Structure 1
């Protein structure tokens, strides 16, 4: 995870996913210092590059880089520069983060999807990284946008995202210079100058303690090496102790031995020591909650997550979070609304929190806290989905039984919560699967998240986020050696591949699902995989293979004695044979379908099957037989009382009569169809069970 807004007052706030932002100061505390660095970045925009001529724009977007250690304020500086430059980029500021709170790189595909989402461009579910990056460059062509890419770890990541749009600007932050990115001069951050450092302290302590002892204030800035994050922590410590002097803080820092468990790389020891000072001075319950925040998915925490981690009430957790934010331990929330305030764990503090969590808490306590958090998240997701159900439904009744703090007042509020928490929810699911100790809860979380997404966005709108979720389900199923779950996950992934036009990938996954379903001995999953294989080959117009797989599925349904499914599969098989021009086989299958409908006493189904027989007979060059089949179908349609179906059959008869050279009879049939349609105020629907060649 990146160093999160570690300059004056922790002003900047970066969303976990790319997002459009305004130029407003999110906390109202302002920005201190760094005038030289801001000017340097501004000058670099107009600087002639290696691949440009003086006074002309380059072919690609200009890239600016802010480099600095955790705690140096690199993200805050980038945020401030973006705030000032935003009016020059009318297409908005797009944000993305490249590192998770536990220091792991965010997959490039997810970063690009977030950026595409900010541009209102729907990414193809499961698309490879190169296709996604190409789509992003295409979406940015001709635009004037500012891309703020936070905590880039490798130069290859940055190179993939530089748009071929000279009116765009890429502003990246990193710990190092990112050697390999051409024509980029890093703006390297050190500590704050003494004047700015003292001003930052004064925001927490007030002016009196600074004024009465200015030398100690300068010494404290030097003791913290001018690191904004360290100064914020010490300033918060002083703010909580009105009677303590600045000199007291210096002495406490010097007397405090650095804990061996704390990561203190060269240049970061002032931050580690300041964190140790604050952590040691907290009440036990608050210190424990602070440590447990290392488990917060994506570093995002609200009262619900905090209360679940600590096992306390939401009100007590909210009060603790507000205290942490006031003293620089959390970044304060921005905006307002009906949803609980979200706080963010600073990226520079995340490794320190993980270190003290591992030393101060027992593994069993950590696992219990994580389990409580996952359970609370599952219940929130269930509530998020249930609020979309009709009033009086079983889901709404279960929703009413939940505690008030877990209920959403309306579907709109629930949808807003889902959108704002989605990156953290995905991170929670991935973390639960990766840990491997809470697989049952991980499975419940993924299932609840999938259902909530479908409820609020629909199958199509949720597809880009469902794809990685189904992959997580597959990972859990493979780890638990659960064949049914493997089959279901593979089927879901293959369905998304099919919708995205990746038929080759879909076929491979459908075959894998078939093997898993057979290993599980589950006939329903098996026949689902068989039909999916057949449908994919049908879409590829490989009629022979499609008929083969439909035939296997039909055999399985015949063995189970499910007449309704038998009739449906006879129709699918007949349609494929018709597409291949095998009229005799198509007629045989439609006759079988009609016979099964007759056994089911389904007059409408029998009429439709006979109507399809008429179509096939006409295609086969036997119009007289087609007319007789159509008349028989019309008889069954009248028994079913389906006037629209009767109209469709009358129109088909009219077409056949015209081909037989009897226009008068054809006109009578059309008139009868028109009367039926006028009575039903509709149009005749197509009765074919599958497409056949005319």
Structure 2
């Protein structure tokens, strides 16, 4: 881009908004260091953009013309469907299809349609991208979960595709909403996502027909009309050059095939060269060599892309190629910096340059590490306070990936990916630290991190995590897919797991299910039995929380087998206890007591008395539920005795209280009363006021059943007073 730094000229669309002044004393990056011209228009562009774009706020440079298509789409919304024509009331949402080749402006048209329809659909809009990086279809269950999250509906971890799509249809039922399904590979990905809500509207963007989806209203896109194509060029190069040579402008539009993506690339190239003319642009486009097997329809975009790419300095061209490694296709300055091995500021400037040239699409800014103080230092690092996110347009991705394979060695690609994942781990550690208490050791360790890796507050860290959730999960998948990253994949997943738990708590269960599944995959591939057992146990826990107890039992048994094969006592004990707990959830108290008993044997063998006391209690509880009073009393007394030997007065008091409960169940209220009074004495000596209150209230209940209401009132008064004195 050094040869583009001429100065002056018309600014491309968006280059004049939100211009950020240079901080006092700030030195601009040198072309030799980051490959970017000091006076390139994007250096004067805004450092950040809004994190969320309100419905209908579409960048003007990305839409022009298409009025006939918009009128046709509006007419299709009003036109009766097949159900109405057959005399039945329609139950499914109307589906509009905007079909066209990538780069034809199909997504821009869909967004413009949503903007114009926004007032008619008060429940808002939800969006999903159905094709991932590399052109692979996004699994339907992932798409359904993302849409449910956008609608504020929780979905159980590990739910199947059918369960998730059913939940999605239920969440949209009764709403009047807009659903945008972008870059759909085909009808198989769209059909399960169509809601049973006749008042909602589904807009699908795809390359071709949606086979298998009934009553679809298609709108096929070709090239833009000449006037609209020239309007896009005018936004980039200004009115003067268009007015001077309007015929050549029309010729350039024709060379670009009327494709908005090609026009933006050509316009960005010419905007960076104020002294060049439209004739120079046309000549440059025609000079681009074409592969002999390239289809005719793909030639305009190929020429425009090669024109823009070949004008990049080698460092900037390398950054662009490496962006295809970005998780979930989303990139910001931190990620680009890690991929290219350059500074965050240089990476951010490169991304803004690419967006100005039409090589990237801005996705909006998200919260990121911010300055921690005021003054000149904060001003110098203000650029890193909020980094816009960008996405490589799908119409360019295949060409950029081909360049990556052509120019980058596999070892260099692996190294870039490792740097990216390492940077992600450090950001996750910083994000997690902001969720911990201010005086915690993990929080204090972040003070030693570079300023660009630190967050200003817990809220900014949580917002960063929320905005990058999908990319972080995809980063974990990338780490697992690469078999040569040693322990980096496990470090990444451990950091992501802990960060999700700190900031999201129980709501992180669906994401944790994905991560534990990835850990299981790594463990099985590398032959890591300890990690495999832990992953199976974690997945089983989440299955149990979601009510899938049969699946949980299967995984607990598998974990037990693996743990026993490597003599892992921790995992073995956890699996045994979990099996007991799951059978208890199923109401099979005999098996629950049996598995707890096996866990007890392991604890006694290892001399773990505290755990043994707890397990005596669990066995006693199982026998209590099963109505086996004798066995229950034996186990609860064993628990109380173990707690007594350990000097745990609170544990002893609780166990004694349970002995009293079983005695009362067994029809021995007098014995229960004596035992409960002993438990009260223990709780009082332990200083546990709430436990003593609970025991006093139980004594009151027992006395009422024994026919002594006066004494019962006294004990109840004591218990209620203790509860007031010891609030939770």
- Taking structure 2 as the reference length, what is the TM-score of the superposition? 0.87
1:256 aligns with 2:288: yes
Q: Following TM superposition, by how much is the alpha carbon of 1:20 offset from its aligned partner in structure 2, in angstroms?
A: 9.1
Q: Following TM superposition, by how much is the alpha carbon of 1:497 offset from its aligned partner in structure 2, in angstroms?
A: 1.1
1:434 aligned partner: 481
1:15 aligned partner: none
1:118 aligned partner: 150
| Correspondent of 1:608 among 637, 644, 654 | 654
Given that 2:694 and 2:719 are in contact with CA atoms closer than 8 Å, whether structure 1 keeps it comes out as no
Question: What secondary structure is seen at the aligned counterpart in 2 of 1:94?
Answer: strand
- Correspondence list, 1:264-663, <5 A: 264-265=294-295, 267-334=297-364, 338-438=385-485, 440-458=487-505, 460-661=506-707, 663=708
Q: Structure 2 vs 1, CA of residues 571 and 36 (structure 1 numbering), >3 Å: closer, same or farther?
A: same
2:718 aligned partner: 675
Q: For the residues of structure 2 that align with 1:95 and 1:542, how far apart are their CA atoms?
A: 45
Q: Structure 2 vs 1, CA of residues 28 and 211 (structure 1 numbering), >3 Å: closer, same or farther?
A: closer
- Farther-moved stretch of structure 1 (263-272 vs 339-348): 263-272
1:64 aligns with 2:96: yes
Q: For the residues of structure 2 that align with 1:671 and 1:527, how far apart are their CA atoms?
A: 45
Count of residue pairs brought into register by the alignment: 665
- Correspondence list, 1:24-173, <5 A: 24-29=56-61, 31-53=63-85, 58-173=90-205
Q: For the residues of structure 2 that align with 1:50 and 1:20, how far apart are their CA atoms?
A: 37
Given that 2:13 and 2:60 are in contact with CA atoms closer than 8 Å, whether structure 1 keeps it comes out as no
Q: For the residues of structure 2 that align with 1:548 and 1:680, how far apart are their CA atoms?
A: 37
| Deviation per residue, 1:143-168 (Å, 9 max, x gap) | 10010111111212222122221110
Question: What secondary structure is seen at the aligned counterpart in 1 of 2:57?
Answer: coil
Structure 2: 5+ residue stretches without partners = 1-11, 16-50, 368-384
Q: Following TM superposition, by how much is the alpha carbon of 1:296 offset from its aligned partner in structure 2, in angstroms?
A: 1.2
| Deviation per residue, 1:118-144 (Å, 9 max, x gap) | 211111211111111111111111110
1:689 aligned partner: none
Given that 2:56 and 2:112 are in contact with CA atoms closer than 8 Å, whether structure 1 keeps it comes out as no
Q: Structure 2 vs 1, CA of residues 360 and 164 (structure 1 numbering), >3 Å: closer, same or farther?
A: same
Q: Following TM superposition, by how much is the alpha carbon of 1:524 offset from its aligned partner in structure 2, in angstroms?
A: 0.7
- Taking structure 1 as the reference length, what is the TM-score of the superposition? 0.91
Q: For the residues of structure 1 that align with 2:588 and 2:296, how far apart are their CA atoms?
A: 64
| Deviation per residue, 1:305-343 (Å, 9 max, x gap) | 111111111111111111111110111343686521111
Structure 1: 5+ residue stretches without partners = 1-7, 12-18, 686-694
Q: For the residues of structure 2 that align with 1:283 and 1:124, how far apart are their CA atoms?
A: 49
Q: Following TM superposition, by how much is the alpha carbon of 1:512 offset from its aligned partner in structure 2, in angstroms?
A: 1.5
Given that 2:436 and 2:443 are in contact with CA atoms closer than 8 Å, whether structure 1 keeps it comes out as yes
- Farther-moved stretch of structure 1 (636-645 vs 100-109): 636-645
Q: For the residues of structure 2 that align with 1:489 and 1:81, how far apart are their CA atoms?
A: 46
Q: For the residues of structure 2 that align with 1:325 and 1:483, how far apart are their CA atoms?
A: 47
Q: Structure 2 vs 1, CA of residues 35 and 644 (structure 1 numbering), >3 Å: closer, same or farther?
A: closer
Q: For the residues of structure 2 that align with 1:74 and 1:310, how far apart are their CA atoms?
A: 32
Question: What secondary structure is seen at the aligned counterpart in 2 of 1:334?
Answer: strand
Given that 2:519 and 2:535 are in contact with CA atoms closer than 8 Å, whether structure 1 keeps it comes out as yes
Q: Structure 2 vs 1, CA of residues 423 and 622 (structure 1 numbering), >3 Å: closer, same or farther?
A: same
- Correspondence list, 1:185-204, <5 A: 185-204=217-236
Q: Structure 2 vs 1, CA of residues 649 and 94 (structure 1 numbering), >3 Å: closer, same or farther?
A: closer
Given that 1:647 and 1:684 are in contact with CA atoms closer than 8 Å, whether structure 2 keeps it comes out as no
Given that 1:9 and 1:328 are in contact with CA atoms closer than 8 Å, whether structure 2 keeps it comes out as no
Given that 2:704 and 2:712 are in contact with CA atoms closer than 8 Å, whether structure 1 keeps it comes out as no
Q: For the residues of structure 2 that align with 1:578 and 1:552, how far apart are their CA atoms?
A: 18
1:691 aligned partner: none
1:16 aligned partner: none
| Deviation per residue, 1:274-299 (Å, 9 max, x gap) | 21222111111111111111111122
1:240 aligns with 2:272: yes
Q: Structure 2 vs 1, CA of residues 680 and 53 (structure 1 numbering), >3 Å: closer, same or farther?
A: closer
Q: Structure 2 vs 1, CA of residues 507 and 212 (structure 1 numbering), >3 Å: closer, same or farther?
A: same
| Deviation per residue, 1:242-262 (Å, 9 max, x gap) | 2222222222222222368xx
Given that 1:646 and 1:673 are in contact with CA atoms closer than 8 Å, whether structure 2 keeps it comes out as no
Question: What secondary structure is seen at the aligned counterpart in 1 of 2:134?
Answer: coil
Q: Structure 2 vs 1, CA of residues 654 and 84 (structure 1 numbering), >3 Å: closer, same or farther?
A: closer
Q: For the residues of structure 2 that align with 1:147 and 1:439, how far apart are their CA atoms?
A: 42
Superposition RMSD in Å? 2.3
